[in-house]
Structure 1
Amino acid sequence: METGPVVVFANFLSDLAVDLDEGQILTQWAQQAPRKVWLLRPGDALVTPVPLSPEFLRYAFDLTGVPAGSVTVIQVPPAGAVPLARAVREAGLMDRVRAVAGDRGAALLPTALDASAIAFARDIGLAVHPYPTIEAAEAALKTTMLLNTKAGFREAAGRLGMRVPAGRVCRRAQTEAVTRELLREHERVVVKPDRSAGGHGMRFVSREDLSGGVSLRLDSVGGPEGLWVVEECLDVAESVSVQLDVTASGTRVLFSGAMRTVRGSFTGYVSPLPPSCGHVAGELEQWGTLLGRHLADHGYAGPFGLDALVDTDGVAYASESNIRRTATTTPHSMVARLTAESVEPRPAWSVSKGWSRSPMDFAGALARLRASRLAFDQDHGEGVVLYADAPPDGRSWRYAVVARSAGDVAEREAALAEVLEFEGG
């Protein structure tokens, strides 16, 4: 974000990662929009589908050193499972966004590069960060949409020489037959809707699950004609990812780490890679760089992630690509920003979610952190950051932990679980 002012466009409601028909999961993801505050610099604006508490804004601006009056936060009223651009129009906020952007050469920074965000930028008269023109962003859209699908990634990964789990792509109607066929060779398979993220709609199926004439029942994800991917279910030791950035000068590795998952669903992340799977870092970066070159050749610019599975033999298998800002892109930017001058070498960090036994507001949670001396300390570049505001239920807290080593991160997380009285902590 080294350019001029930006309009941070928190369009979590997008058809890039999941079909818009999946309105409930998209609405849940949109609750993470407050984390975009950590990207703001003086002169910027944030267009958000959810409200941000005054306490959270003061907290974030205090840590980043941004004068509160130098940025604009525009909250868009709920409009159902529709793209954020449409919700802005329906709320009559187009002129306000246009006025905030002004004629200062501002650019739109969307969470997801989709058709509605590009059309919105054109209507407002903005470029789309980091593309030089609207037309350049539009030219990248086809590849962006394709490589956010499971089938599109498998095809590209095969051509680029990545190792992928054995599997097949099929239409919904053929999914059960393909599943049964693969179960003849593998004890378990994973059945994934083509356009999905965070494990949404994924099914793990064993031979026993389909014995005795039992039918395979799938979620409605993707509709009756949608594509599905059926793959061998590996004996997974770690789920890992590498995050990269495509720029005019080439593809740059930003960071890598291990994902925390429950039955395939993302629940958190720790960076750098732990020793148990650190040996795959080079291969991950090689695959990511190859994919970055492919994306650049098709006009894409900006951040993306490549996910992989490491089996119990220590072998990595590429599993999917996320050609967008992911759940870790902004937290990493936040960590880099908050520790730029205080921590060397680069710190270890994690993001996760914990459920407090009783609800509390943001001020109450922050007071507990400060009283226990767990709150992020700018002088030392370590501590806990409540990076996504108070949750609507007052209990499901998203947090980041920054420390000098992975061991210190684990210790602080354990202490945090006690201080905020997390269930199971």
Structure 2
Amino acid sequence: MTTLIIGNSRTAEMVGDLAALTPAQRRGGGWIAQRMLWFARDGDVLVLPFAPPPEYLSYVTGLTGTDPASLTVVVPPPGSLGPDILTPDRLTDPGFLARLRDALGDRPPHGILAVYKDLPVTGLARALAAEAALPGYAFSAQAGDALVNSKAGFRALAAGAGVPIAPGTVVTRPEQALETITDLFDQGHSVMVKLEFNGGGFGNEILSRTGGITPAGAPRVVVLPDRPALRAYLEQRWEWLTAGHAHRLVVERFFPDSTTVYAEYLITDDSAHLIGVGELLMEPVAVGAVLPAQTIDARTRADLLDGAARLAESLRVLGYRGVVSADAIHTPDGPVLFTETNCRLTGSTHVHLVLHGRVVDAAHAADRVFLERDGWAVPSFTAALERLAAAGLGYDPASRTGVVVTSNEVDADGTVACCAIATDLATAERMQRRLRGPDADGPT
């Protein structure tokens, strides 16, 4: 039974304006799409922005036990933004559709797995007469995934489900933002402003009347000491904050020194099944994750799962099907406050569904800590594997421990992402530090 796997790792509803992405960001998105190889099984067909390097394909399939010769990769012609991301025009190219039908044997696939189920993906399913193969097709074909990935829509969903969120609101005009931010400032708080559609913290900014705030969950802090400074900021940044007046803006209280945690679910017609609980590493935006989450106690975990389960059930009733990550912060005073839902394959889904329970079999997975981080600088993917072997850090199938290279972005930014798998967090942290050499002795 063939699954059609689509590596649309950058879409407008994931990262905002695609045309605004730099060439390096587009190239990085293309390399992230290669991570879909982790989900492939014998006989599957993959649609990727460009062909995966043979050495990466061999490495991934060697760990998952997939026959690489049984896989078919179909690459559409370059689109309006080039060859690095699957823009909508690439997925509707007639020549590509003909080659894809041929790869599928002129039969609809048994299933369709996409990073994000936007209208181009539902259109592709329709062109292949494969609507039944795409989970939640009816919902997604009405742009439902945009509804549930909107950070503004999230606040309404969470409030309606009785799930705790940070104080704040959704605004559509600069004067509304001015008054909401001023009110939070007057209460002595800093503020997080969030673009309606973006990811990884890159669509966020922290605003404060005073300095000394360490950014977390956003690239920077903007100091605005008085109302005129705030008004000037909104005038200057409103175009960016609203994606050219196309989207709404979220304004909410910022909680310094919080831990970012999440619960990830797989939503089907019948239920929402928990697939993992983790903690995001922020420096100051997301650079990795550890799972299961290590720094929260049983009460905090229970609060996280209670709110996440309510969000997942609300999404199921709406008609969404697929993976959802319910993200939250564990604040210094104790409460768990939810911040967004990511209704798509996330940066950790491959760890939850493939590394945990498939590469590391179920008998051992419950006793393992998975610590994944981006940004190990290497001259090539092959050199990364050689260095792991030389250091004795490569993944060992016998012990079910070691380092797995999960993403290959050497041709984009000279780095790879690595997941250290160990029996405890301290050992996983030591593995990650050893990768980065003697100058990386600080916190992981």
| TM-score when normalising by structure 2 | 0.86
Partner residue in 2 for 1:323: 343
Deviation of the 1:297 alpha carbon = 1.1
Trace 1:277-356 onto structure 2 (pairs within 5 A).
Answer: 277-336=297-356, 337-340=358-361, 343-356=364-377
Q: Larger deviation: 108-117 or 192-201?
A: 192-201
Q: Contact between 1:83 and 1:116, CA under 8 Å: does it hold in 2?
A: no
Partner residue in 1 for 2:53: 53
Partner residue in 2 for 1:148: 149
In 2, Cα distance between equivalents of 1:136 and 1:194: 20
**Match of 1:338, as an amino acid?**
V
In 1, Cα distance between equivalents of 2:386 and 2:141: 46
Q: Larger deviation: 112-121 or 397-406?
A: 397-406
Deviation of the 1:278 alpha carbon = 4.9
Partner residue in 1 for 2:71: 71
Trace 1:71-220 onto structure 2 (pairs within 5 A).
Answer: 71-81=71-81, 84-90=87-93, 92-102=95-105, 103=107, 105-127=109-131, 129=133, 131=135, 134-135=137-138, 137-138=140-141, 141-142=143-144, 144-174=145-175, 175-208=177-210, 209-211=223-225, 213-214=228-229, 215-216=232-233, 217-218=236-237, 220=240
In 1, Cα distance between equivalents of 2:100 and 2:323: 25
392 and 278 in structure 1: CA distance in 2 versus 1, 3 angstrom threshold:
farther
In 2, Cα distance between equivalents of 1:197 and 1:72: 30
Q: Larger deviation: 39-48 or 233-242?
A: 233-242
Deviation of the 1:354 alpha carbon = 2.4
In 2, Cα distance between equivalents of 1:255 and 1:160: 21
Q: Contact between 1:5 and 1:105, CA under 8 Å: does it hold in 2?
A: yes
In 2, Cα distance between equivalents of 1:94 and 1:325: 24
Q: Larger deviation: 56-65 or 210-219?
A: 210-219
Aligned residues: 415
In 2, Cα distance between equivalents of 1:390 and 1:227: 33
Q: Contact between 2:275 and 2:353, CA under 8 Å: does it hold in 1?
A: no
Q: Alignment partner of 2:122: what SS? A: helix
Q: Contact between 2:5 and 2:113, CA under 8 Å: does it hold in 1?
A: yes
Deviation of the 1:275 alpha carbon = 3.4
Partner residue in 2 for 1:383: 402
- What per-residue deviation string (whole Å, max 9, x for no partner) do you get for residues 237-269 of structure 1? 311111011123311111111101133x21110
In 1, Cα distance between equivalents of 2:373 and 2:435: 11
340 and 412 in structure 1: CA distance in 2 versus 1, 3 angstrom threshold:
same
In 2, Cα distance between equivalents of 1:124 and 1:153: 32
Q: Contact between 1:270 and 1:350, CA under 8 Å: does it hold in 2?
A: yes
79 and 346 in structure 1: CA distance in 2 versus 1, 3 angstrom threshold:
farther
Q: Contact between 2:379 and 2:410, CA under 8 Å: does it hold in 1?
A: no
**In the alignment, structure 1 residue 274 sits paired with structure 2 residue 276:** no
Unaligned runs of 5+ in 2: 211-222
In 2, Cα distance between equivalents of 1:30 and 1:281: 35
In 2, Cα distance between equivalents of 1:190 and 1:394: 29
Q: Alignment partner of 1:236: what SS? A: coil
Partner residue in 2 for 1:223: 244
31 and 393 in structure 1: CA distance in 2 versus 1, 3 angstrom threshold:
closer
**Match of 1:188, as an amino acid?**
S
Q: Contact between 2:49 and 2:86, CA under 8 Å: does it hold in 1?
A: no
Q: Alignment partner of 2:370: what SS? A: strand
Partner residue in 1 for 2:382: 363
Partner residue in 2 for 1:258: 279
Deviation of the 1:376 alpha carbon = 0.8
Q: Contact between 1:193 and 1:229, CA under 8 Å: does it hold in 2?
A: yes
In 2, Cα distance between equivalents of 1:225 and 1:172: 11
Deviation of the 1:346 alpha carbon = 4.4
Deviation of the 1:364 alpha carbon = 1.0
**Match of 1:5, as an amino acid?**
T
Q: Alignment partner of 1:412: what SS? A: helix
Q: Larger deviation: 114-123 or 277-286?
A: 277-286
**Match of 1:101, as an amino acid?**
L
Deviation of the 1:379 alpha carbon = 1.4
Deviation of the 1:188 alpha carbon = 0.9
Deviation of the 1:45 alpha carbon = 1.4
| TM-score when normalising by structure 1 | 0.90
Deviation of the 1:288 alpha carbon = 1.6
**Match of 1:89, as an amino acid?**
T
Deviation of the 1:146 alpha carbon = 1.6
Q: Larger deviation: 78-87 or 96-105?
A: 78-87
423 and 71 in structure 1: CA distance in 2 versus 1, 3 angstrom threshold:
farther
Q: Larger deviation: 80-89 or 407-416?
A: 80-89
In 1, Cα distance between equivalents of 2:440 and 2:131: 43
In 1, Cα distance between equivalents of 2:127 and 2:246: 33
In 1, Cα distance between equivalents of 2:441 and 2:20: 28
In 2, Cα distance between equivalents of 1:146 and 1:197: 15
Deviation of the 1:179 alpha carbon = 1.9
Q: Contact between 1:52 and 1:389, CA under 8 Å: does it hold in 2?
A: no
- What per-residue deviation string (whole Å, max 9, x for no partner) do you get for residues 136-169 of structure 1? 6536x42x22221111111111111111111021
422 and 226 in structure 1: CA distance in 2 versus 1, 3 angstrom threshold:
same
In 2, Cα distance between equivalents of 1:423 and 1:220: 38
Deviation of the 1:227 alpha carbon = 0.8
Q: Alignment partner of 1:386: what SS? A: strand
Identity in percent: 23
- What per-residue deviation string (whole Å, max 9, x for no partner) do you get for residues 75-118 of structure 1? 34442448544214348311111111222643321110111100
Q: Alignment partner of 2:264: what SS? A: strand
Q: Name the Cα RMSD after superposition.
A: 2.5
